Amino acid sequence: MIRLECPRCRTLFEDARLFTGCPRCHEQKVPVNLTVKVDLGPLAHLRTERFPATPRGLWRFRALLPVAGEHPVTLGEGATPLIHLERVGGRLGLRRLYAKDESQNPTWSYKDRLCSVAVTHAVETGARVVTIASTGNHGASTAAYAARAGLPCVIFTLASVPATMKTLMQAYGAAVVACPTAEARWDLMRQGVERFGWYPTGGFQVPPIGSNPYGIEGYKTLACEVAEDLGWRAPDVVVVPSAYSDGLFGVYKGMAELAALGLIDRVPKMVAAEPYGPLAAALERELETPAPVRGEGSVAFSIASRYGTYQGLRALRESGGHGVQVTDEGIFEAQRALAREEGVFVEPSSAAALTAVMQLVARKAVDPEQTIVLVLTSSGLKDPGASRTWLPEVPASGDDFDALLAVLRESYGLELDR
């Protein structure tokens, strides 16, 4: 039997649809998400060669996932490349800087790992409608996997999200509605869950606690792939863009389980890249759970949260990691560097991971000999408008080649006629 566990008070729950966090901790006014209790006993003899070679992707690691059926809801997610950032890393003095490029998932973000597992669980538990409150990536992914499963999908978003995101969510057939505030999204979603049994792939609590516990398990496969690509060695540091820390906690949990099984020798330090810094503030103030912080807008809108979560703080504390507050200027610098020096175009929220590393290097808070992995969560084409702020207008060219050379020289500084 698959059970849920509170990471704070260790209470176990058998309700497969308990999506509102730990009720015992809630009574103490401590908001805590639940996590799937994994019995590692039957996996004690698991060895790396026992993970099947096919099918490629997330479901190779189903032995570590909380699903029972033989037919997962999948679009071929996972198996994304681990890219050695030689130029950027060389410039920063980091010889072992890598990026896990999650933009190569089916809907171009790492949310596909969460949604594949969550919607598989939805089907196994008889869900009739899938729902989410989202400003983009999570909504697009939920819509795609609901379509794959043949389930209706209702998405609550904000009018202010980029048109590209709205298009993606609607293109997959979801019923998308724009709400006046983030709190209104969560309240309407909660009513759908409570009154009609809609299945949520994300959270709807205030303050936030994190997403669907079963879906978060999907991020453990990211840890498996990184370790495998490094020859079944753990990196020293993993940097994850973080709002409610689903990805951060999922990767941490995956690494912790691999270490407990003896498949890697240690758990890496986890680093949260966050625009407003609630986890960083909680660590500095030695809080049990993060308190809300101030926030006045960020280009990395999908991770720009004033709230941190218990699960995120636990991942940082138990791994000896850090929270790093990042700026818009730093995010644009990192986005440009990844695109122009490495050929990887990611959205601002993803670039925040490199921004955090740049800041740690500037503070001399990272060992240049360490192996560092950035999780690049989503494609730059999800929010192309943000990138226009640092791109020049495209110059016009006539049909004369000498005139073209002049345009290239004047607009781009290219001397191509020598």
Confirm whether 47 is domain-assigned: no
Report which of 301, 369, 360 is spatially closest to residue 325, judged by C-alpha positions: 360
19 with 137, same domain: the answer is yes
Q: What is the pLDDT of residue 66?
A: 92
Q: What is the pLDDT of residue 234?
A: 97
How many domains does the structure of the chain reveal?
Answer: 2
Q: Which range is most confident: 357-371, 375-389, 393-407?
A: 357-371
Which of 168, 184, 209 corresponds to the end of one domain? 209
For the stretch 269-280, pLDDT in tens is 999 999 999 999
Confirm whether 95 is domain-assigned: yes
Q: In this structure, are strands 82-84 and 97-101 parallel, antiparallel, or unpaired?
A: antiparallel
Q: In this structure, are strands 372-376 and 130-133 parallel, antiparallel, or unpaired?
A: unpaired
Q: What is the pLDDT of residue 39?
A: 86
Q: In this structure, are strands 372-376 and 237-241 parallel, antiparallel, or unpaired?
A: parallel
Q: Please report, rounded to a whole number, the percentage of residues in the chain having pLDDT higher than 90.
A: 83
66 preceded by cis ω (within 30°)? Answer: no
122 with 168, same domain: the answer is yes
For the stretch 264-315, pLDDT in tens is 999 999 999 999 999 999 999 999 999 999 998 899 988 999 999 999 999 9
pLDDT band for position 169 (50/70/90)? Answer: very high
86 with 115, same domain: the answer is no
Confirm whether 59 is domain-assigned: no
pLDDT of residue 52 exceeding 90: no
pLDDT of residue 69 exceeding 90: no
pLDDT of residue 418 exceeding 80: no
Q: What is the pLDDT of residue 46?
A: 83
247 with 313, same domain: the answer is yes
For the stretch 399-413, pLDDT in tens is 899 999 999 999 898
Confirm whether 182 is domain-assigned: yes
For the stretch 112-164, pLDDT in tens is 999 999 999 999 999 999 999 998 899 999 999 999 999 999 999 998 888 88
Q: What is the pLDDT of residue 70?
A: 84
127 with 17, same domain: the answer is yes
pLDDT band for position 42 (50/70/90)? Answer: confident
362 with 299, same domain: the answer is yes
Confirm whether 52 is domain-assigned: no
Here the contacts of 260-266 (C-beta below 8 Å, separation 24 or greater) are 260/40, 261/40, 261/43, 261/44, 261/46, 263/46, 263/47, 263/48, 263/227, 263/232, 264/227, 264/232, 264/233, 264/234, 265/233, 265/234, 266/234
16 with 150, same domain: the answer is yes
What is the CATH number for 314?
A: 3.40.50.1100
Confirm whether 45 is domain-assigned: no
280 with 379, same domain: the answer is yes
188 with 253, same domain: the answer is no
Which of 209, 234, 262 corresponds to the end of one domain? 209
Confirm whether 76 is domain-assigned: no
pLDDT of residue 353 exceeding 80: yes
Helix (H) or strand (E) holding 299, with range, is none
Q: Which domain holds residue 264?
A: 82-108+215-383
Q: What is the pLDDT of residue 24?
A: 96
In whole angstroms, give the CA distance from residue 380 to residue 351: 9
pLDDT of residue 50 exceeding 80: no
Confirm whether 64 is domain-assigned: no
141 with 167, same domain: the answer is yes
In whole angstroms, give the CA distance from residue 125 to residue 198: 11
pLDDT band for position 51 (50/70/90)? Answer: confident
136 with 194, same domain: the answer is yes
Q: What is the pLDDT of residue 364?
A: 96
Which of 167, 182, 209 corresponds to the end of one domain? 209
370 with 312, same domain: the answer is yes
